[in-house]
Amino acid sequence: MTALLKSQEARLVGRDHLERLASGAARADARGLLRDTDIGAWLEGASWRNAEERDRALWRYLAETLGAIELRRFFPRDARRFSRAYLLKYDVANLKAVLQGLTQGDKPRLLPIGVLHAKGRLEGLAAVQSREELEDVLTRGGLRNFALALRPASPAGGRRARPAVDAALEGEYHRGLRHAVRGRLGGHILDAACGLMLDLANLAVLCRLLVAGAGSTDTRSFIPGGHLLDAHDLRDALSHGLHDLPRRLEPELYRRAAADVVAAYERTESVAVIEDVIEKHRLAALRGLLASTLAPAAVMAWFIVLKEIELRNVRLLLTAVEDGLALDEVRRHLLL
């Protein structure tokens, strides 16, 4: 399995594709430029009329690629267990979209990836009209734990209740993810990686709250179960301004990430840079933890992270080409 995944890493979209795309001739045939990559070969047979259909095609590619790898006879049970627990993040994203749709009366746009998608229940999830119907779909899809996690948060409370609802879903997801790695080969490394992802997710929430001027008591958005950043750390940092955030954080990694967020926000005054900066630190930290590890679940974890980053980069590149944007406008958002 390690040989298979490492060989597929060689067919990822990389920096050289970006540089070649900068030439006018290459931009005219962006999909042709990606033909030597696995995702490019898959996109050769795909078609779309707009950005939404293009994004759905990219998500289908990721779901089908990871699903095909899991079906290999030699695919280790530990790796499969982690992979399925990790991909529940997309079910959480879809649940958030459905809850937002119920609150605002809009039809949700769901990602064709995750457990419910694999079980053919995504259409049923998109059609729910009530809390009871949502719980039924989750239960039938084997995700009753998420239905139970929603009950104390009371999504019926409308928009004001959404931060607590989202935090409850994320908390259940991260709890299950860390449970899936305990006792496995390389589990201590994966547990550290899971804790890192949870802390950085909370750091991103913290930065957004500080930019919005939230008070020190507005802690509903934080995901419970922090690793190196606990509820006290987050509450303390929230009582000060964004500029003071780096010196309020003890772990060096988070202090550096916070400093980069502060610098980027003060330079651009754009909330979007928060996610960009946090993602770059997440990728660098996960590379340090997982890239050289040979335990099956850790190898699969790193491969999934790489494919997610690749999909993000390809989406940005195709958006730049289709919308006629200058490459420099999207270059700073790419993760390489």
**150-195 residue pLDDT tens:** 887 655 556 667 888 899 999 999 999 999 998 877 889 999 999 9
Residue 222, domain extent: 2-89+180-331
Please give the share of the chain, as a percent, with pLDDT higher than 90: 56
Q: What is the CA radius of gyration of the chain?
A: 20
- Other Cβ atoms within 10 Å of 162 Cβ, number: 18
Q: Using one digit for the tens of pLDDT, what is the confidence trace for 35-68?
A: 889 998 898 888 888 999 999 999 999 999 999 9
Asked if 216 and 318 sit in the same domain, the reply is yes
Same domain, 188 and 282: yes
Q: Are residues 240 and 321 in the same domain?
A: yes
User: Is 336 part of any domain?
Assistant: no
In this structure, the answer to whether residues 149 and 127 fall within a common structural domain is yes
The domain boundary residue, chosen from 156, 179, 202: 179
Report if residue 256 sits inside a domain.
yes
> Do 111 and 69 belong together in one domain?
no
| Any domain includes 174 | yes
Say whether both 138 and 243 belong to one domain. Answer: no
Token output for 87: 């991909």
pLDDT of 185-220, one tens digit each? 788 999 999 999 999 999 999 999 999 987 767 788
| Element of type H or E holding 275 | helix 272-290
Please indicate, yes or no, whether the overall pTM of this predicted structure exceeds 0.85.
yes
**Same domain as 72, residue 191:** yes
Residue 245 maps to a domain: yes
The answer to the question of residue 11 being in a domain is yes
| Ramachandran assignment for 278, one of left (phi > 0), alpha (psi -120 to 50 degrees), beta (any other) | alpha
47 in any annotated domain: yes
Same domain flag for 279 and 187: yes
Report the domain count for the chain: 2
Cα of 114 vs its chain's centroid, Å: 12
Same domain? 153 vs 234? no
Question: Which of 151, 179, 207 is a domain's end point?
Answer: 179
Q: What is the domain-level CATH number for residue 132? A: 1.20.1690
Q: Is residue 155 part of a domain?
A: yes
Task: Say whether both 108 and 208 belong to one domain.
Answer: no
Q: What is the pLDDT of residues 246-277, one digit of tens each?
A: 999 999 999 999 999 999 999 999 999 999 99
In a domain? residue 238 = yes
Residues 90 and 167 sit within 8 Å (Cβ to Cβ): no
221, 287: one domain: yes
CB-based contacts of 116, cutoff 8 Å, min separation 6: 91, 94, 122, 125, 137, 141, 143
- Read off the tokens for 295: 């335990």
Do 162 and 271 share a domain, yes or no? no
Distance of CA 276 to the CA centre of its chain: 12
DSSP string covering 6-38: HHHHTTS--HHHHHHHTSHHHHHTHHHHTTTSH
User: Domain ends where: 154, 179, 204?
Assistant: 179
pLDDT at 283: 95
